[in-house]
Amino acid sequence: MPTIYLSTFIRATPGVTFDLSRSIDLHQLSTKQTQETAIAGRMSGLIELGESVTWRAKHFGFFQELTSKITAFEKPGSFTDEMVSGAFKSFKHIHKFESIDNGTNMIDIFSYVSPFGILGKIADYFFLKKYMEKLLMNRNLIIKQHAENPAAIH
């Protein structure tokens, strides 16, 4: 099971970073390159424990749908979302927010299982893990920009 670990320093409180990380609207802004939009479940605002959202996005030239649900929630320290249905066999994304000097260390632990057995493992090795890491890094950059400069939200 591939796992991506990311750590992003953000000059904002854990509470601000936590809320921006669960914002449906900011998520859509951070994934505009894949045309990702919420189409069912929580479609705007801040997602909460037990809620789900269905996303429609274009990856590798094809539109796909994926539903995830918030399965753990400890404001402002962490929350977890897990895939309910979608292109992966499964995924779990743990979001952690640690208070450190002058800000927050935002930690992502994203574990997934690709479909298609050995073909999925080959895809992981050659491109899928890097692709997912790039998506998460871009998302984190948008969260960082908005947390550190609230006037930049558009």
Residue 126: its pLDDT value, please? 86
State residue 152's pLDDT score: 59
Q: What is the pLDDT of residues 35-81, one digit of tens each?
A: 999 999 999 999 999 999 999 999 888 899 999 999 999 999 999 99
Question: 63: helix, coil or strand?
Answer: strand
Which DSSP string corresponds to 90-135?
A: EEEEEEEEEEETTEEEEEEEEEEE-SSHHHHHHHIIIIIHHHHHHH
pLDDT at 154 over 50: no
Domains and CATH numbers, the chain: 3-149 (3.30.530.20)
Exposure class string for 133-143: b at 16+ Cβ within 10 A, else e:
bebbeebbebb
96/146 Cα distance (integer angstroms): 18
